[in-house]
Amino acid sequence: MTDAPKTLQATIEKLTAKGKGILAADESLKTIQKRFTPYSIDCTDDTRRDYRQMLFTPADLGHYISGVILYEETLFQTSTKGIPLPKLLEQQGIIPGIKVDLGLVDLVGSGDEKITEGLDGLAARLEHYKAAGALFAKWRAVFNIANGKPSRAAIQANAHNLARYAAICQSRGIVPIVEPEILMEGNHDLKTSAHVTEKVLNAVFTQLKMQHVSLEHMILKPSMVIPGSDAKPASIQDVAKETLTVLLRTVPAAVPGIFFLSGGQSESVATAHLNAMNKQMSNTPWVLSFSYGRALQHTSLETWAGVSSNVTAAQAVLLKRAKLNSNACLGQYDATEEK
Ligand code: 13P
């Protein structure tokens, strides 16, 4: 445990390398099944392995991707040639990470709000994951915007758990990704989204500080400030401006990286938002990058569709998406390249 700070520093520097982001490929069994269903892909150990193997092996992926978040099953799977899947990432200079939360349950007494489980026994699980190559972790909390929600109870309970998780990770030499996601479902406007995001991030950082989490050795993975999916959409520029305003108010400059989730935005819109932020402000105290799941995988999965002869085409699609997002990290995304 004594080398934990050194390990944390080395990992954080690699993860936040200029122009690189994170691929979130940590869908739970239920979620990956949901992603496979539209393409009639059977959801088995082998198809999940084949899919992740496809995602992890495009040549040069490591030019744009610094880390990949894995689901527990994937961390212990081997490729068709018998190589552990995390090793395939390491061969590309990509750091394997692991989703360590155990998902959402109802927050009793709080209507239909959720709390994230997984703290009991976390330290022991981290040792097991570390031995398999994981150097960073992810924990996702969700908040929904509706009448009076998120409640104070949901904000405080989830913020407390996020900080507990982060502190435990750091004590084991694992860099925590702290993910408070404000869901986009609803008809709330941009200002409401900004207000709620600010409230949640303030609570999260209060807890992180109270629980002695080293802000220098964590990554924040927030949602962008966008209007609800049933509300009038905002312009790319307005989303970038509101998101930057909220982050500047809430996220200490000591935090090295803010890596956004895509949360149901389309691939090109998620890229355009990230690009606009990096263009509007090129001197943010933190690296502004991506940790996208759907917004990196969507077209690649559609192209693959569970068919081995589609692997090369699906990998080309993923590589292009990763490159466009890498450009967006530098404020150099050109939307005409989407064609
Ligand atoms: P999306 O980018 O699809 O929101 O996934 C990111 C993620 O890791 C959600 O926990």
Q: Using the mean position of ligand 1's atoms as its centre, give its distance from the Cα of residue 101 in Å.
A: 14
Residue 339's pLDDT band (boundaries 50, 70, 90)?
Answer: confident
Q: What is the C-alpha separation between 23 and 38, in angstroms, rounded?
A: 22
Residue numbers annotated as active site = 179, 221
Distance, in Å, from the CA atom of 311 to the CA atom of 300, rounded to the nearest integer, reads 9
Element (H, E) at 292: strand 287-292
Say whether pLDDT at 1 is over 70: no
Respond yes or no on whether the N-terminal peptide bond of residue 58 is cis (omega within 30° of 0): no
Check residue 65 and give its pLDDT: 99
Residue 171 contacts residue 1 (beta carbons within 8 Å): yes
Q: Quick check: CB of 262 below 6 Å from ligand 1?
A: yes
Rounded average pLDDT over 130-144: 98
Which phi and psi (to 5°) does residue 26 adopt? -110, 30
Distance of CA 3 from the midpoint of ligand 1 (Å): 31
Where would I find the H helices in 184-309? 190-210, 236-250, 267-280, 294-304
Distance of CA 201 to the CA centre of its chain: 16
What's the pLDDT score for residue 111? 85
Domain locations along the chain? 4-338
Is ligand 1 within 6 A of the CB of residue 290? no
Q: What is the pLDDT of residues 192-243, one digit of tens each?
A: 999 999 999 999 999 999 999 999 999 999 999 999 999 999 999 999 999 9
Beta carbon of 294 within 6 Å of any ligand 1 atom: yes
Phi, then psi, of 137 in degrees rounded to 5: -140, 165
Average pLDDT over residues 319-328: 98
Two structure tokens written together for 56:
């992890």
Best substitution site from 294, 297, 318 to test ligand 1's pocket, by max atoms within 8 Å of Cβ? 294
What are the pLDDT digits (tens) for 138-148? 999 999 999 89
Beta carbons of 50 and 314 less than 8 angstroms apart: no
Please state at what angle helix 190-210 crosses helix 236-250, rounded to 10 degrees: 30
What homologous superfamily does CATH list for 4-338?
A: Aldolase class I (3.20.20.70)
Q: In terms of C-beta density within 10 A (0-12 exposed, 13-18 middle, 19 or more buried), how is residue 98 classed?
A: buried
Instruction: Please give the distance, rounded to the nearest whole angstrom, from the Cα atom of residue 290 to the centre of ligand 1.
Output: 10
Please provide the average confidence, as pLDDT, over all residues in the chain. Answer: 97
Q: What is the pTM of this model?
A: 0.97
pLDDT in tens, 3-19: 678 999 999 999 999 99
Closest CA to 314 of 74, 58, 68: 58
Q: What is the per-residue pLDDT across 90-99, written as a single tens digit (0 to 9) for each?
A: 999 999 999 9
